[in-house]
Every structure is written in C-alpha cells, then in structure tokens.
C-alpha cells in the first residue's frame, strides 16, 4: 500500500514551496511594477520604505490573503517572553447595505497598537502606560498561518516598541545590530579595494533545531512536563543512549510520518527545511535549514518551533523544546551557524583561492577572536536561562566557559601570524605571494569539535550554546555588535596607517599580529568538557559563569552598556530593562518548578511510598507471626524506603522555604535533593503503583 507521505511528489513540493508566503515571487502578481520594484529595493538592498506604496501593498496583501482563505490579519511580533505574539483583526467591516466589505489600509499594514503594559518591559512601561506600537518589517515576508477547520490568518512580521520608541522585542535590536555590522563590513571592504563596497552586506544564519518527541498520553500524565517543559523527577532507564545507536539511526515509521508532514508544512511557509535525523538521545531529533539572511532565519526558526508543536499534536505526539527535558541524557540546543555575506556577494568566512581573499578572511577571523575574547561574558549572557543552565557544561553541550575552536591548520597559521607572518601551510604546498604573505587555504581543512562553544567549521562559526527553546535573536545581536566593534577598531587603525602613507599589507600584518598576541587565550582546540580545561581556562583568566544569575550581570556591566549605546543597538534603559526581565523570568521559572515539584512529591509520590511502606511492614509482621524468621532483605528494603521518604519530606521543606524567600539557587539545590529521593523511590516502588510515566515509557514507546 502506498502511504500518504509517499504520494507527495517532488514536483508538487517545487510548485507548492512558499505558497503561503507573500514572497517576491507571489507579490509580483499583485503589485504594479513601480510598487514591486520599490518594495524589492527595500527587501534586497535595505533602502528606506516608500510610504506612498503602503496602501497598494496593503491592498495586494489583502487580496492575496483572501484568496488563501484568510479572514483576519495580525502583526506577528516577538516580545521579551521569548515566544511570538499576535492579535487578530478581521478584514471585514459592515457596509451601508447590511453586508460587509474587506478592507486593509496602508496604515493598518505599517503600524499596529498592542497593549505594551501587558508584556515584559523591565520597567520601561508601567501598568498605566499601555500604549505600544508594532511596525511592519518589510524585509521578512508576510505569511498565512492555517488553523483548524480551514481557518487562516495573514501574519505580518513586525517590530514592537513602546510609546517613546523603546525596543520591547527581540527583532528591533537584531535589525539595529545588522545595520551596524553592515556599516563596518563596508568600511573593511573599501580598505580592501572591493569595487562593490557600497552594496549591502549582511549576517547569515542557519539554526539547527534539536527537540524531543513523546507520546501525548504520557505527556498528559506528567504534571511537570505539562507545566514546566521538563521532567522534575525521573530515574534514568536501564537503556538510554549508552549504546550510541540512536544518532543517525533508522527513523521509526511514526516519526518519519511526522517529519514528512513537518517538512511539507514548513516548505509551504517558505522555510527551507533541509536535514532531518535522529539525535543522540532516544526520542530526540534534529531539523536543520538552508542558510538565510539572519533576520529571516530568526523569524523562520520561530515558525519552526510553532509548527513542530502543531504537527506533533496531529500525530498524537508532544514536541518538547526544553533544553533539558530528561536528566541523564543529552539535552537540546540550537547550533547557531553564523557567517557574513560581504558587499561583493561572497561569504567572508570562506577561505579564498587568492592571497587577497585570504587576507580578508583572516582579518575576519582576527576580528572574531578579538570580539569573543573581549566580550566572552556578554556572549555567555546572551544564552543564559533557567533551562539552559541544566544543559551548558553537560556532556553533550558546550561549557559555560566561552572559547573558540579554529582547527589544526588555521590554528597553525594563526600561530605563524603571531610570530610575524605565515610562511607555510599544513595543507601542503607553497604560499602564494601576492597582495599579502598569507597562504592559500583549502575549504574544510579542519576537523569538528563538538565540545567547543564557538567552533569554526569551514565557512562559518557554529555557536553551539543557544538553548533549544530560545530565540536566536539575542545571541546574534551580541555576535553582530561585538564583531562590528572589532572590525571598527581594525578599520580605524588601518585607515590611520593609510593616511600616513604606510603600505596596507604591512599595516594589516601588524594589526593581525597584535590581535593574536593579545587575544590568543580564547583559542582552544581540545576537550572543553575536561576538568583540565577548566583549570587552564581559570589560569588564562577566562570567565566561567555557571548559572544564569551570574551570567546576566554581564549585560549591565559598564563595558556592555557602552558598547550597545555606542552603536545604537540598545540604550542603557533598554539594556537594564532586559536584565530585569531576564532575572525575573529566571526567578519565576525556578519558583514555578519548585511549586510543581512540591505538588508532585507530596500529593502523588509520597502517598504511594507510604502505602508501599505499610505493605512492607505488613509483610514483615506476617512473616514474624508465621515464624518465618528475621527476613534481613525485607528489613533492609523497609529501611531504604523509610530513609528515602524522610529525605523527600526534608528536601521538600527546604525547597518550599527557599522558594518562598525567592532564593532561586538554594531552591534548585533543595530540588536536586528532592529529586534524588523521589528517583530513589522509583527504583523501589512496584512499577504498577508508580504514579508517573517512566523514562523507559517515554523514550521507547513512541
């Protein structure tokens, strides 16, 4: 029998890709040539939007959306909750004849007004200061989101700001940081004599997304998963990931059916889903897209997370996007693959075939080394969250210590630059002499280091520390800004040398040499999980911020505030507001988890454990009455259960006290002890009495 998934032909996908997106291709059929070219210039070149075309674009969007079955439109934005938000408005208004007519104006397209006081603002908006605005982002195309029973909504990506223009979202600072990066890349292009130096440059991104799938019936029986997204209790099953047979393994039919529908839905939304596979842990999987312009890639990743949940529900599954839904096995992250497309249309993190291209490439490498070393703590803060704290530093994720992996060949060349100039290359052959004394570098001349937080992988840097449930925007705001800062300093030095009539290549070699000497401590190609590296990192003076409260302080460090203000990415008020939001979110998350853990431990686990205690006591009493003897094994079991019950009660009291006092770190420590007691009881209480689905149930019965 041919499956439904098999009936979908490749040619169908080609025809249907992006069908629910008001893309450049689709808008051509609805706009005049003048409006189409004007909007195209804004989308592709970053030119200012011509307000005179707003009404025509709005009418075209409405006509297209109605043809797709949409009845409502919404400004789709990304507040500081880390999720997306939307308020639906109907296209239809009553006419004078008792009917309705469809209307959508340029004003409605360009600007909306949600209640700003109802979203996290960190003090930027008080309860009585409700006015906020959403503003259309034309560089990210509108799309149709389909719902149940044929419902459809036109989603218009927007920024979200307060009454005085304060950024209240993730997108606004991302767009600002892209402008800053573009400006500095153009300066560097001009110094290298690139003819297209005035054309637009931009960051690119390919965010790989990890996730878990479990049967929905088990999810619904786990209050911890329902309320917090992770298992607060759970004994690791005898079989987990130790056989190393799940990664890239055979995909089960039920999961393949889910993945196939997921791809189809994403393709219809223009999301270039490319790769799918089993991940390391049982019930864990990954989806990876083709690289896109950074702002669009971030929007698409938010769409991916939503569609993952929706499609999973259709298949009787639940998608878990928490960074550490299960203890003792791999957690989930996003591999934030970051690169830069220069004004010449080339990837500036791709080694070139000429000395000139390689000089540009190594300048970018040096800028990133300088940026990451100087602002390592800020980069760590960009991925700080309660969920990610359970993952960072574990055996499947990069540690809290930020470092850079370059690979054997590039590390060797960097070492030569430090000594005064590269003369040989480990790839073999002679250096090509020309614009600079830098070697020709083959592509993919490096191994991969899965333990490194920031790894060079041939034509991009893979920042592996972003959490699976997080927006990629925060990490890329920091990456864009700190790299722009480093390029700014490099360009300023080179421009000064040029004004003095110095040889460009000599000055460039000196700049690169100085950067390597000063910032080489951030380079590490070894095992980032090892205790030796922790000691070595401490010796080098690298920050090791192991929890969110410690990491977030880097946001409000004087150097961070000055950096963001200098480049107009975030004002001091905006930085401090984000700090307040993230600290509050962390504390609320821990308090929520503590409350949920206490409820489960006291009302579900403890009664079962006490009942089992009574049964053991009854068995011992019956044995004694029958003259069966001392039964040392049963007495030992009775003591084990009694001790664990005592540990449970004591840990619960400590967790409750710490949570009530808003002492998050103490609450987490108490919750660890509470978990140890509960998980210990799970290994003793009969399986048919245990009130929660086990890890084995959730991992393997999918």
Question: Residues, the chain, total?
Answer: 702
Q: Judge if 123 and 93 occupy the same domain.
A: yes
Q: Judge if 195 and 121 occupy the same domain.
A: no
Residue 203, SS3 per DSSP: strand
- Any domain includes 91: yes
Alpha-helical segments (H) within 553-690: 558-566, 572-600, 606-626, 632-660, 664-682
Q: Judge if 101 and 186 occupy the same domain.
A: no
Q: Judge if 461 and 551 occupy the same domain.
A: yes
Q: Judge if 220 and 354 occupy the same domain.
A: yes
Among the candidates 117, 133, 168, a domain finishes at: 168
- Note the pLDDT of residue 529: 84
Phi-psi region of 18 (alpha: psi -120 to 50; beta: other; left: phi over 0): left
More confident residue, 157 or 197: 157
β pairing state of 461-467 and 333-341: antiparallel
Q: What is the signed CA dihedral for 686, 689, 693, 696, rounded to 10 degrees?
A: 20
CATH of the domain at 671: 1.20.120.1560
Q: Which two tokens stand for residue 299?
A: 């929007």
Q: What are phi and psi of 669, to 5 degrees?
A: -65, -45
Among the candidates 119, 146, 168, a domain finishes at: 168
Least confident span in 121-130, 208-217, 476-485: 121-130
For residue range 213-244, list pLDDT tens digits in order.
999 999 999 999 999 999 999 999 877 876 66
Which residue matches tokens 């490096």?
A: 446
Residues pairing with 135 in the sheet: 111, 159
Query: 390, 331 in Cβ contact below 8 A?
Result: yes
Which residue matches tokens 């909007």?
A: 39
Identify the band that residue 80 occupies on the pLDDT scale cut at 50, 70 and 90: very high
Q: What is the mean pLDDT of the chain?
A: 89
For residue range 351-363, list pLDDT tens digits in order.
877 766 788 999 9
pLDDT at residue 536 tops 80: yes
Spatial distance between the Cα atoms of 407 and 313, rounded to a whole number of angstroms: 42
For residue range 269-314, list pLDDT tens digits in order.
999 999 999 988 899 999 999 999 999 999 999 999 999 999 999 9
Q: Judge if 539 and 662 occupy the same domain.
A: no
Segments forming the whole domain that contains residue 122? 31-168
Mean pLDDT calculated for residue range 181-188:
96
β pairing state of 404-405 and 454-456: parallel
Q: Judge if 564 and 622 occupy the same domain.
A: no
- Any domain includes 398: yes
pLDDT at residue 128 tops 90: no
Q: Judge if 474 and 615 occupy the same domain.
A: no
pLDDT at residue 537 tops 60: yes
Spatial distance between the Cα atoms of 463 and 379, rounded to a whole number of angstroms: 10
For residue range 38-72, list pLDDT tens digits in order.
999 888 887 888 888 999 999 999 999 999 999 99
**DSSP secondary structure string for all residues of 112-160:** E--BGGGS--TTSS-TT--BEEEEE-TTS--EEEE-GGG-EEEEEEEEE
For residue range 336-354, list pLDDT tens digits in order.
999 999 999 999 998 877 7
Measured in whole angstroms, how far is the alpha carbon of residue 624 from the centre of its chain?
61
Q: How many CA atoms lie within 13 A of 345 on its CB side?
A: 4
- Any domain includes 300: yes
Q: Judge if 411 and 525 occupy the same domain.
A: yes
Identify the band that residue 436 occupies on the pLDDT scale cut at 50, 70 and 90: very low
Which residues lie below 8 Å from residue 124, measured CB to CB, with a gap of 6+?
162, 166, 168, 573, 574, 577
Spatial distance between the Cα atoms of 404 and 454, rounded to a whole number of angstroms: 5
Spatial distance between the Cα atoms of 611 and 37, rounded to a whole number of angstroms: 74
> What angle do the packed helices 253-268 and 294-314 form, to 10 degrees?
140
Spatial distance between the Cα atoms of 132 and 118, rounded to a whole number of angstroms: 10
Q: Judge if 159 and 285 occupy the same domain.
A: no
- Any domain includes 400: yes
- What letter does residue 99 receive in the DSSP assignment? S
Identify the band that residue 523 occupies on the pLDDT scale cut at 50, 70 and 90: very high
Q: Judge if 315 and 428 occupy the same domain.
A: yes
- Any domain includes 302: yes
Spatial distance between the Cα atoms of 469 and 232, rounded to a whole number of angstroms: 17
β pairing state of 100-102 and 92-94: antiparallel
pLDDT at residue 409 tops 70: yes
Q: What is the signed CA dihedral for 380, 383, 386, 388, rounded to 10 degrees?
A: -100
Among the candidates 149, 168, 187, a domain finishes at: 168
Q: Which of 350, 462, 452 is nearest to 410 (CA)?
A: 350
For residue range 660-681, list pLDDT tens digits in order.
999 999 999 999 999 999 999 9
- Note the pLDDT of residue 308: 98
CATH of the domain at 91: 3.10.20.70
- Note the pLDDT of residue 395: 54
Residue 333, SS3 per DSSP: strand
- Any domain includes 234: no
- Any domain includes 9: no
- Note the pLDDT of residue 428: 41
β pairing state of 92-94 and 72-76: unpaired
pLDDT at residue 487 tops 60: yes
**DSSP secondary structure string for all residues of 381-421:** HTT--HHHHTTTTSTTS--SB--EE--HHHHHHHHHHHTT-
More confident residue, 128 or 566: 566
Residues pairing with 537 in the sheet: none
Q: Judge if 594 and 563 occupy the same domain.
A: no
- Note the pLDDT of residue 357: 77
Instruction: For residue 579, give Cα distances in angstroms to 123, 128, 591.
Output: 10, 22, 18
- Any domain includes 84: yes
The model's pTM is 0.92
Q: Which two tokens stand for residue 439?
A: 């070697």
Residue 331, SS3 per DSSP: coil
Mean pLDDT calculated for residue range 456-483:
95
Q: What are phi and psi of 53, to 5 degrees?
A: -100, 0
Number of domains in the chain: 3
CATH of the domain at 443: 3.30.590.10
């Amino acid at each position: 029998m041919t499956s439904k998934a098999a009936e979908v032909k490749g040619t169908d996908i080609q025809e249907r890709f992006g069908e629910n997106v008001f893309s450049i291709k689709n808008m051509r059929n609805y706009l005049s040539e003048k409006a189409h070219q004007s909007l195209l210039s804004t989308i592709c070149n970053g030119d200012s939007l011509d307000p005179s075309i707003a009404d025509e674009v709005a009418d075209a969007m409405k006509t297209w959306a109605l043809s797709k079955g949409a009845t409502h439109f919404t400004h789709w934005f990304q507040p500081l909750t880390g999720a997306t938000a939307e308020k639906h408005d109907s296209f239809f208004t009553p006419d004078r004849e008792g009917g309705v007519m469809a209307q959508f104006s340029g004003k409605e397209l360009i600007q909306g007004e949600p209640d700003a006081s109802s979203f996290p603002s960190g003090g930027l908006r008080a309860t009585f200061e409700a006015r906020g605005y959403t503003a259309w982002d034309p560089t990210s195309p509108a799309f149709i989101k389909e719902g149940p029973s044929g419902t459809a909504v036109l989603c218009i990506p927007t920024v979200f700001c307060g009454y005085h223009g304060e950024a209240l979202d993730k997108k606004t600072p991302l767009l600002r940081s892209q402008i800053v990066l573009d400006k500095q890349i153009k300066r560097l292009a001009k110094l290298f004599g690139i003819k297209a130096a005035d054309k637009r440059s931009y960051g690119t991104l390919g965010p790989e997304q990890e996730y878990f799938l479990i049967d929905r019936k088990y999810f619904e029986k786990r209050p911890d998963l329902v309320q917090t997204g992770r298992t607060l209790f759970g004994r690791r099953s005898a079989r987990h990931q130790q056989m190393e047979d799940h990664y890239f393994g055979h995909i089960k039919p039920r999961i393949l059916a889910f993945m196939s529908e997921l791809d189809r839905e994403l393709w219809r939304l223009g999301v270039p889903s490319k790769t799918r596979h089993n991940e390391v842990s049982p019930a864990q999987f990954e989806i990876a897209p083709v690289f896109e312009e950074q702002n669009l890639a971030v929007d698409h990743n938010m769409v991916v997370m939503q569609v993952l949940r929706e499609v999973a529900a259709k298949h009787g599954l639940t998608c878990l996007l928490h960074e550490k839904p299960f203890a003792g096995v791999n957690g989930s992250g996003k591999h934030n693959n970051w690169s830069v497309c220069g004004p010449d249309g080339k990837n500036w993190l791709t080694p070139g075939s000429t000395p000139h291209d390689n000089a540009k490439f190594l300048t970018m490498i040096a800028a990133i080394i300088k940026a990451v070393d100087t602002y390592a703590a800020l980069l760590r803060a960009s991925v700080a969250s309660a969920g990610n704290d359970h993952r960072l530093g574990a055996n499947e994720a990069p540690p809290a210590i930020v470092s850079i992996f370059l690979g054997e060949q590039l590390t060797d060349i960097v070492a030569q630059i430090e000594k005064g100039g590269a003369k040989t290359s480990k790839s073999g052959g002679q250096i090509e002499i020309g614009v600079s004394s830098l070697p020709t570098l083959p592509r993919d001349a490096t191994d991969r280091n899965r333990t490194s937080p920031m790894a060079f992988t041939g034509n991009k840097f893979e920042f592996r520390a972003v959490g699976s449930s997080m927006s990629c925007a925060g990490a890329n705001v920091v990456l864009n800004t700190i790299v722009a800062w480093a390029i700014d300093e490099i360009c300023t030095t080179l421009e000064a040398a040029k004004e003095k009539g110095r040889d460009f290549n000599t000055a460039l070699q000196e700049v690169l040499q100085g950067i390597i000497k000063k910032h080489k401590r951030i380079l590490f190609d070894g095992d980032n999980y090892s205790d030796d590296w922790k000691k070595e990192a401490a010796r080098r003076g690298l920050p090791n911020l192991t929890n969110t409260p410690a990491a977030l302080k880097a946001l409000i460090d004087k150097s961070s505030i000055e950096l963001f203000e200098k480049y107009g990415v975030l004002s001091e008020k905006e930085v401090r507001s984000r700090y307040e939001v993230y600290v509050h979110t962390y504390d609320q998350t821990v308090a929520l988890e503590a409350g949920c853990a206490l409820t489960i431990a006291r009302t579900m686990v403890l009664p079962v454990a006490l009942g089992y205690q009574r049964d053991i006591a009854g068995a011992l009493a019956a044995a004694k009455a029958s003259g069966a003897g001392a039964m040392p094994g049963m007495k030992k079991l009775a003591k084990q259960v009694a001790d664990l019950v005592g540990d449970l009660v004591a840990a619960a009291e400590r967790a409750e006290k710490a949570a009530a006092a808003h002492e998050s770190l103490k609450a987490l420590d108490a919750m660890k002890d509470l978990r140890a007691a509960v998980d210990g009881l799970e290994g003793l209480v009969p399986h048919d009495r245990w009130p929660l689905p086990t890890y084995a149930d959730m991992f393997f019965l999918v």
